[in-house]
Structure formats: structure tokens, C-alpha cells
Chains A and B, each alone.
Chain A
């Protein structure tokens, strides 16, 4: 049973560019959350997708957008990259339709470096 998979694992971009990160949730899960983790900090909630819609959003600018596909996989897009966007981006999956079990399953993350 595959867990949460994310791609790419590492990438380097320059300021002003755009980036797309991808996530496949754990089998049986229908809800995907995205977190940003800066060096030395805890993960910060960006937004969550359920039934292909953004259900809740954290305190992140509109440059951060996402999408969920019918197969429950998800993408995180960041436009007009800033140096401060350098971070580990984590995807977490859970079940919205089967009820919250108290457990989020996280992927290994995508390490983004903005130069």
C-alpha cells in the first residue's frame, strides 16, 4: 500500500519563476492538505482540498494556489517566486468522507530552493 508520494523531491528555481509540486494521497484517502516548512520551523498550513475544492486556507498570499483532480491527487502552484518561498513543501492526506481519525499521513516533501 503506497503512502503519500510527492514529486519532485528537490528543485531549484529563480526569483519570479513559477513552480508546480505534485502529490498523490495514500490509497483510500480523499483529502489533501499542503504545508510549508521553513528551516527550523514547524509546518505551516497552506490549504486543504476535498472533493476538488479548496476547503480551507491558511495565511498565504494568492500566489499560492492549488488543484485537486478526480483521482484525489493534488498540485500546489506558486507564482512569482520569492527568496522567502524556499522551504520544504509537505503534502498530507486524510479521509474526509470516512471521518477524521486523528491522523494525517505526510509525504517526504519537496525541497524548493529559490535563488
Chain B
């Protein structure tokens, strides 16, 4: 079973920041937070991952709370092409099987 809880859906205006929350209250010390997204009719796409420090790359920023029980994915300037289902996943880094367990994710709808 997925170890995270996400809202089913969210809306965001084009050009504004999209903030997607994720709760992972049972996360253990060696587990990372991963974010993937799936645009309609495509395979999931990796966005970012982190352990306890905030992370930023060309796609997004990941903010993890100090107690690591929740995190927020931030898309700084959402575009219509960012409309997708966003999955927050908690998993051990470097585990023997490189396996990720997906939940049902958050459907982000970017509105013009």
C-alpha cells in the first residue's frame, strides 16, 4: 500500500505557482520522498526527490517539513502543459529493487 496521502484534485491558474501537498506521517529515517507526474496517455515522469533538505531542479522545488511528515511540491510558474496527475511516493533510496509504490495521486488542472 502507498505510504502517502494526497488531495484527489487541485486547480491552479496559469502563470501562478502550484503547491501540491503530501502527507507521509509514517516515513522512516531511511526513506526518501519522490515525486512523479503522469500526463494523460503517457508514462509517469520523474520530477524530483529528497530526504530532508529542500531540493530544487529545473522542473520544481521540493519542500520537506523538519519532522519529515509532510512535503510540498512547488511548480513555480504553472503552464497548461503541467496539467497532469502528480504522485508523491515514499521509498527507501538505493533499495535492492529500485521499486516505487504509487498511490492515486493528485490531478492538477491548470486553468487558462
Count of A-B contacts judged by CB separation below 8 Å: 61
Contact between B43 and A4 (Cβ–Cβ < 8 Å)?
yes
Number of A residues, CB within 8 Å of B: 27
User: Are B102 and A55 in contact, CB atoms less than 8 angstroms apart?
Assistant: no
Residue A94 is within 8 A (CB to CB) of chain B in the complex: yes
Partner of B104, one of A4, A41, A48, A99: A41
Please name the residue on chain B nearest to A91 by beta carbon: B43
Question: Size of chain B's interface in residues, with CB distance under 8 A?
Answer: 26
**Which one of A33, A42, A43, A100 lies within 8 Å of B95 (CB-CB)?**
A100
In the assembled complex, the Cα of A107 lies from the Cα of B87 at a distance in Å of 17
CB neighbours of B95 from chain A (8 A): 100
Shortest 7 CB-CB contacts between residues of A and residues of B: A106-B43, A42-B102, A103-B46, A56-B97, A102-B49, A100-B94, A94-B98
A-to-B contact residues, CB < 8 Å: 4, 31, 33, 35, 40-45, 48, 55-56, 90, 92, 94, 96, 99-100, 102-109
12 of the cross-chain contacts (CB-CB < 8 Å) are A41-B104, A42-B2, A48-B97, A92-B43, A100-B95, A102-B32, A102-B46, A104-B36, A104-B44, A104-B46, A108-B41, A109-B43
